[in-house]
Amino acid sequence: MINYFNYFTEIEEHFQRARGTGLFLLSPLDWALIETWKNSGIPLEAVLRGIDASFEKYHARKQKTQRVNSLAFCAQAVLTEAQLSADGAKAPAADGVTSPPPEAAPFPENDVRGYLAANAAELRKQEGAEFESVALKLEQLAQENLKDLEALEQQLSVLEQRVIAIARSRQSDEAALETKRELEAQLRPYRGKMTAPQLTMLEQQYFERKILESGRLPRLSLFYLR
């Protein structure tokens, strides 16, 4: 099984290969879409299969009016593959099937500690006691036992939401409006390929990413440890 903490990297590289170029850079919309898939619990393998299925249909077309320039092109196929994976997971296991061996830790422990410390240092560059409190918590986590990465990821997710809330409270109405206009311009060609709940989640993730980027704030999740 592919290392799940490489979720973003694997999807980016797989899309580039399917598109036929390694020079293509994902847009903020693409990254936000990957975030929605991750947060929805869509398995990495389902996303990769959805990308392959989308490009198979694209290449089968007799006329190709435009190049695929966004992961949003694959959104419907990814949802289809996610549903197939969910249906397969509900099926009873066959007799005699053994469980796969446990995977090795995805990151060396020292890398995780260094990642936490580096993010704490980045937060200390910001003004305000609110960011200082998050930095202190990251440093405390770096001193604890880091064997259970799933539990650590849950704590980091809570801390990241706290950072986002702080940054959002400082954002001007003008900046929020500009972000919404940018999202609408990028999303318009793909609205018909997504459900209303998916669009709502995508908009939320897009805004959160833009808030962190504009404030030069670090992502705390282990999914960003490369």
- Kindly state the average pLDDT of the residues 35-63: 89
Residue with tokens 């590289």: 13
Q: Could you give the C-alpha distances from 138 to 45, 66, 89, 145, 162, in angstroms and in order? A: 31, 46, 35, 13, 12
Q: What pTM was computed for the model?
A: 0.70
For residue 99, what pLDDT is reported?
47
For residue 3, what pLDDT is reported? 57
Q: How far apart are CA 211 and CA 162, in angstroms?
A: 12
What residue type is assigned to position 152 of the chain?
L
Judge whether residue 98 has pLDDT over 70: no
Burial class (CB in 10 A: 0-12, 13-18, 19+), 124: middle
Q: What is the mean pLDDT of the chain?
A: 84
What tens digit of pLDDT does each residue of 178-187 get?
Answer: 988 988 888 8
**Per-residue pLDDT at 103 exceeds 70:** no
At residue 1 the predicted structure's pLDDT band, cuts being 50, 70 and 90, is very low
Res. 172 pLDDT band, cuts 50 70 90: confident
Residue 131 has pLDDT above 70, yes or no: yes
The predicted pLDDT at position 26 comes to 82
- What Cα–Cα distance (Å) separates residue 156 from each residue in 111, 125, 134, 198? 15, 19, 10, 24
Q: What is the pLDDT of residues 9-19, one digit of tens each?
A: 889 889 989 98
Share of the chain above pLDDT 70, in %: 88
Q: Which two tokens stand for residue 59?
A: 């290449």
Query: Distance between CA 168 and CA 215 in Å, rounded?
Result: 10
Provide the Cα torsion 181, 212, 226, 142; round to 10°. -160
174-218 pLDDT, tens digit per residue, is 988 998 898 888 888 777 777 788 888 888 888 988 899 888 999
